Structures are given as structure tokens and as C-alpha cells.
Amino acid sequence: MIKSVKPLLPILYSFRRCPYAMRARLAIFKSGIEVELREITLKNKPPEMLELSAKGTVPVLQLTDGKVIDESLMIMEWTAEQRPDCDELKNASNCEVRALIKINDFEFKKNLDNYKYSVRFPEKSMQEYRQDGEIFLQRLEDKLVNDYLFGETMSFADLAIFPFVRQFAFVDKAWFDSAPYSRLKAWLARCLASQEFQSIMEKYPEWVVDRNQRITFGGDFK
């Protein structure tokens, strides 16, 4: 039987390409909190992670007091609580921010999956699924009067949402590049070019329990 001990650093189980894990890594990176990063694959989830969270989704964060957070937004909130002075994590509990993230997570994500895997859902065509998703793209386009969703700097909302828009954009990049959402496209390009995104997309080997190498991430809060 696996025994979970309280770790010296928080441990993040993550999967590089998962948008939920991306938002968690982005918030951790912004907060400057150092964590041990355990890169997993969805086809080979480690029992150590499943013991902490049986639902088997990433990201999962185990804190140094043993507590486990297995929802990406809650991990983001935790980082915001640890760093109340971090501007980019500040609007975490703003009602408008939460409402926008809710639409992202419960409507847009569904439309994104239908669009991305449209062959599995023949009720509608790929274009129709894309049009469903475009309702949210238009909403973001209207919102983007500044460089970022809630002002001139990246905030909690941008961190929580852009990994999903990225995925939508890459389903058919040629279409996205020609789509009439100029502010949204500029925003996404800005987010993708950001130092934080570059840093969280570094590639790590899959975590194996006995490897004599511990990979840490984040930790340069100033």
C-alpha cells in the first residue's frame, strides 16, 4: 500500500498539454511558489496521484500539510490566497471574473470538445460546433477593450481562460487566423508569447516514483 507523507514542497501532478493543468501552472508560476512538478500521462496515471484524488484528473496539488486540491480553479485560488500582494492574481473573487470563467468552463469547454472531436458527435457538423464556440470568442472580443480581459495587465481571468482559447484556435489554425476577431487574436498571441506561458510549457520527462531526480517549478517570487 502507498503511504502518502506530508511533502517538503507542495507537489503538483500535471500534464503539459491539459488546459486545466496549464492554468494551475500559470498561477503557480505567477505566485512564485515553488512546487515539485510531477509530469504524468493520462494513459498511465501514477497510483500515488490516484491515492490522493481518486477522480483521476489533472491538475492535483498536494500541500505541505497533506491537504489535496484537485480542481484547477481551486489551485489558482490557493495561489491567490498565498500571495494577496500579487497583482495578477488579485481579481480572483471578482463576480464578473467568476462569471466569465464559469461560461468558459461549462459552455465553451463543451463546445470546444465537440468542435475538436466532432467526428465523435455526428449530430452537428464541425462548422456548427465551431459556431457554437464562437459565441464565447465574440464575448471575449467585445470584452477586450484593453490588452487583457480586465485591464492592461494579465490577470486571474486571462490565466484561467486563454489555455482553452488556445486549444480552440489550434483545432483549425488557418480558420482561426482568418477569423474576424482581431482583438482576441492579438490577446491570444500576447498570452502565448508571454514569459509565463513559455516557462510553463517547458517539457519534462514523465515522473517515475523511484527516479533520483526531483523537478521543481516556480519559486522566484520577488
Helix pair angle (156-171, 182-193), 10° resolution? 110
Q: Where are the beta strands (DSSP E) in 87-182?
A: none
# of chain residues touching ligand GSH (CB under 6 A): 11
162 lies in the binding site for ligand GSH (CB under 6 A):
no
Q: Taking contact as CB under 6 A, which single stretch among the options 70-78, 93-101, 127-135, 209-217 is the one that binds ligand GSH?
A: 70-78
- The residue (of 167 and 181) whose beta carbon lies closer to ligand GSH is 167
Q: Say whether 206 sits in a helix, a strand or coil.
A: coil
58 lies in the binding site for ligand GSH (CB under 6 A):
yes
Q: Of the candidates 34, 36, 71, 196, which one interacts with ligand GSH according to CB under 6 A?
A: 71
Closest CA to 23 of 188, 203, 163, 136: 163
Q: Of the candidates 13, 20, 156, 162, which one interacts with ligand GSH according to CB under 6 A?
A: 20
Q: How far is the CB of 78 from ligand GSH (least distance, A)?
A: 12
57 lies in the binding site for ligand GSH (CB under 6 A):
yes
Q: Alpha-carbon distance 144 to 128, whole Å?
A: 25
For the chain, the residue count is: 222
Q: How far is the CB of 152 from ligand GSH (least distance, A)?
A: 28
59 Cβ partners below 8 Å, 6+ apart?
12, 13, 14, 15, 18, 20, 21, 24, 25, 70, 72, 75
49 lies in the binding site for ligand GSH (CB under 6 A):
no
15 Cβ partners below 8 Å, 6+ apart?
21, 39, 40, 41, 42, 58, 59
Q: Of the candidates 56, 66, 180, 219, which one interacts with ligand GSH according to CB under 6 A?
A: 56
Residues at the interface with ligand GSH (CB under 6 A): 15, 18, 20, 42, 56-59, 71-73
